[in-house]
Amino acid sequence: MVCTVCNKEAPEGSRFCPFCGAKLRLTIKTSKDPLIGVTLAGKYHILERLGSGAMGAIYKATHLNLGKPVVLKVLHPHLLREESHVQRFKREAKAASRLNQPNCITILDYDKTPDGWSYICMEYVEGKDLCRILHEEKKLSPERAIRIALQVVDALDEAHSKGVIHRDLKPENIMIEKLRANPDFVKVLDFGIAKIQDTSDTGSGSFKTATGMVFGTPEYMSPEQIKGEELDGRSDIYSLGVVMYQMLTGILPFTGETVLEVATKHLQQPPPPLEEVAPDLPKELVQVVNKMLKKDRRERFSSAGEVREALLHCLQVVTGQVSGITPTPAQVQPQIPTKKEFMPARTEQLQEAEGESEEFEFMKKSHTLRNLAIAGVAIIVIAALIVGFVVLRP
């Protein structure tokens, strides 16, 4: 997709140009891609173009040495002229390569070719991105939305633990792969504007770069990111809250005709009440999403781990039982039998006791009769001996 104002290529699915902020129209770039059919770096044969992001174009390719499909992200040619963009692209590879978690995309290679192409090679994921799924299905069931969100949270938890903040979490960057064990297996993509907190880069999470390029997608940006404040993991939690709102309702909480209008709503207006837009949602889930979307980050969940615990509780509410999940101590309640449950058990205990008593009485009587019989036999024997002694006495 090409912006008709500045004539620069914008990410597919974007509503606003990341360079000039203009609202995008459906103008598709029709010229032949020069990289299709090319073998990059002597080992990646490019087959087709899959899409485009703010930093680079996405291609499906074959790794010639391994004979397996891979994905190449190639930096846009117009960004190669600025070293800051080249370094940011390199930082994406560095950021993503730090992550070792099943829901994070795996980086296989990064390099720059002699003719100037900068690229990142990553694993190929067979599936659809969440944006396409929402376009086809409008919204998701609460259980499905929670299960997808839990996997995104696990990826964010891994990233935050390594000092990496995503800063552009949105449905386009959440791939859903259908596996036998999990029909909605998540891969979080595109750390293209990720911030590595312990690097020497002292730039903040500003809304724009010095060259005017928007950092992030306005519909999913946190208030502090819009204001250019220093970011932490709570910014990603806000973005995930927007994604969850969209999954559960089929609409975005904040929209507008311009970037400024959307940004202003993020800063000043509350989202349409979730309990009114989707009245059938459990109140526990509504409370979790509302907390993720708090304007003041101090009022949000403090970590991805906290979000995970809250979502697990919501999943238990939605399903009633969650296989393979150990409840927290606060969720374990002693099971006290009701009166109806107690009475049959008590009656059964009494009946067993009465049965044991009757058996004891029978055994007691049997024992007494046996003793009497023995005593009777003894008396007869003694009497016979006495009679015999008297009769036989001279």
Residues 177-203 have pLDDT tens digits of 999 999 999 999 987 556 665 444 444
CA distance 112 to 65: 19
Q: Are residues 115 and 262 in the same domain?
A: no
pLDDT at residue 26 in the model:
53
Q: Are residues 226 and 270 in the same domain?
A: yes
Q: Say whether pLDDT at 367 is over 80.
A: no
User: How many structural domains comprise the chain?
Assistant: 2
Q: Are residues 138 and 232 in the same domain?
A: yes
**pTM: predicted TM-score of the whole model, two decimal places:** 0.71
DSSP H or E stretch at residue 379: helix 339-391
Q: Say whether pLDDT at 297 is over 50.
A: yes
Of 9-23, 131-145, 327-341, the one with minimum mean pLDDT is 327-341
More confident residue, 144 or 15: 144
Q: Say whether pLDDT at 48 is over 90.
A: yes
More confident residue, 60 or 92: 60
Q: Are residues 98 and 151 in the same domain?
A: no
pLDDT at residue 225 in the model:
94
Position 26 in a domain = no
- Strand, helix or coil at 33? coil
Q: What is the CATH number of the domain that holds 131?
A: 1.10.510.10
At 96-155, the pLDDT tens digits run 888 999 999 999 999 999 988 999 999 999 999 999 999 999 999 999 999 999 999 999
74 in Cβ contact with 35 (< 8 Å): yes
Q: What is the CATH number of the domain that holds 64?
A: 3.30.200.20
CA distance 235 to 74: 27
Across the chain, what does the average pLDDT equal?
81
Position 370 in a domain = no
Of 17-26, 132-141, 223-232, the one with minimum mean pLDDT is 17-26
DSSP 190-225: --TT-EETTSS------SB-TT--B-S-GGG--HHH
Q: What is the largest CA-CA distance in the chain?
A: 151
Q: Which of 157, 168, 190, 236 is catalytic?
A: 168
CA distance 100 to 6: 39
168 an active-site residue?
yes
Residues counted in the chain: 394
Position 77 in a domain = yes
- Which residues, 6 or more positions from 159, have their beta carbon under 8 angstroms from its beta carbon? 95, 99, 104, 165, 166, 188, 191, 194, 236
Q: Are residues 120 and 132 in the same domain?
A: no
